[in-house]
Chains A and B, each alone.
Chain A
């Protein structure tokens, strides 16, 4: 699993440009001997067990936040817009990488001491001397993502884009563990696109697949650090969360109860999650067609949307265990 995390968290895949991470996931799916298809917007779908009565859509988004080049200055610096929620405060000195491996560093204009920087006051420096040189290296419309290594410290793991490559890892590991098992439910595993810019991939994949239930697997904010920004009791190392609500969904009580019942029955630790700001694919899935009862399983994660997101590996293991047991449940 460590290799898989390493592979996915160093893959390039900003919203709208998921082809590299999709190829990495497709290779893993094929290695497991499963079939897959890709839809118009680029969602990758694996279909398990086509004979059962109840159909469940399990979604993890594969896109990450990014920066898209909008303008090249005469002196070769790149201006950019955001793909998803880039916090301007973390940009100065951060390195970013483009699809072809080109690396740039983010610089910042002089900013009054009292004011907070905004995105427009930043630029990417790719080492070009002027516009002409820069244009030979990068085009307007190309996107960059954080450039960061994966490292492990004790039970904790830090990387860029754990939001939501760790969700993709959980789906792939679950798929592996379910090999040879006859499930009581029909399952679609969807690796979705464009979640970070508005849950767009999940919207179209849910429409196409018409599931009876939806389940998103994603990361969630924690409140276990000094003076946390979020009012939440969720902490690293205490198990996956059963989401109750976020800005985009109020989870179906039947689904949240089933998740808790299955966790308790199998002695899997879990936490309850109420996320005041933020949404996940369940927000789009539950509003598809005439409505789909949906829930979400989240991995607690620190420093979300920075180059150094952090999760606890026991939480990841317990997430895989909970998802695996959920899909074996006859209570759907």
Chain B
């Protein structure tokens, strides 16, 4: 399965090479030419059956995932680290990780519970109290296999339970998988697919990609917070698993263009597919950088709901993902058939 295959690849922001290579090979296998820019975005041009420039449509999905980076090596051989992207620090303790280009095994450790003072036990662990243990005897031993600046990614087996799959980095390999799925199909109009870098550290790849492609319309394929879990009020769920793909109305970076959003809703209703609106109004996506690019771009976001994003293990519904792919498919065809004046 494409999502699983993509999700197990380490690809923390700024270190997307292996994800990019995977996608590039898949695109080449489909006979699609691609190129990369200086930041590492991968551009795939999808030629339509019709002649001409097409509707000026760009589809994007970011390749990078949140993770860690080695910041220093202690005399004892333990590694200190930075966070790369927004990570819930309390979720880090005791998690297995892979370090550097050779996927060295490590585990995130902290002072044993037995030795913690009463006050210490009450507090959530933060990066300052945590370290990565690679089993090195001392600093010299560690330096043989690790250097400062090495990327660290979560390591989780992907697995499936009926409609639900679990694994790391579904944010946003689920979006990449959906975009690759779209690229396998035949469309009447041409469009550009961009697999972007460094979204999790400030929507950086999308900024230069939008400048380069200079689209008229953009649709961002994302993975978003599902909080349909105990202790959260319904209006704070943001999205629910199994409720269909989520359309963004606004987040901290973008207000979805009303006519693009209307068209997405129209397509979903015509296809009689479930959809939901993302209820949380915060956070940011590539659409934020795209909508303000150049003289302005009409942009919207469609996401697969996902529990526990930005943690070592996330969970999503395959049917939500499949509905997302079909709605994106229908959206492209609708833009070709009916056009979309902005």
Chain A residues near B (Cβ < 8 Å)? 15-17, 39-41, 43, 68, 70-71, 73, 79, 81-83, 120, 140-141, 194, 197-198, 200-201, 203-205, 207-208
Contacts and interface: CB of A to CB of B under 8 A. Distances in A.
B233 to A, nearest CB: 8
Given A16-B255, A79-B235, A198-B253, A208 B281 contact: no
Contacts of A203: 292
Nearest to A209: B295
Interface size class of B (residues with CB under 8 A): 20 to 34
B229 to A, nearest CB: 16
Given A39-B295, A73-B234, 7 more contacts: A16-B258, A43-B296, A73-B235, A81-B280, A120-B235, A140-B277, A200-B292
B291 to A, nearest CB: 7
A142 to B, nearest CB: 9
Q: List the 4 closest pairs (A to B, CB-CB), nearest first.
A: A81-B281, A16-B255, A204-B296, A79-B235
A79 B279 contact: yes
Nearest to A15: B255
Given A83-B255, A141-B261, A71 B234 contact: yes
Contact of A204 (B234, B288, B292): B292
B291 A82 contact: no
B295 A120 contact: no
Nearest to A19: B258
Contacts of B233: 120
B298 interface: yes
Contacts of B342: 40
A41 B296 contact: yes
Contacts of B288: 198
B249 interface: yes
Interface string B264-289: 00000000000001111110000010
Contacts of B234: 71, 73
Interface string B225-257: 000000001111000000000000110110100
A40 B249 contact: no
B48 interface: no
B250 A16 contact: yes
Interface in B287-313: 288, 291-298
14 contacts: A39-B296, A40-B216, A41-B291, A70-B235, A81-B250, A81-B280, A81-B282, A120-B236, A141-B277, A198-B252, A204-B294, A204-B296, A207-B294, A207-B295
B202 to A, nearest CB: 13
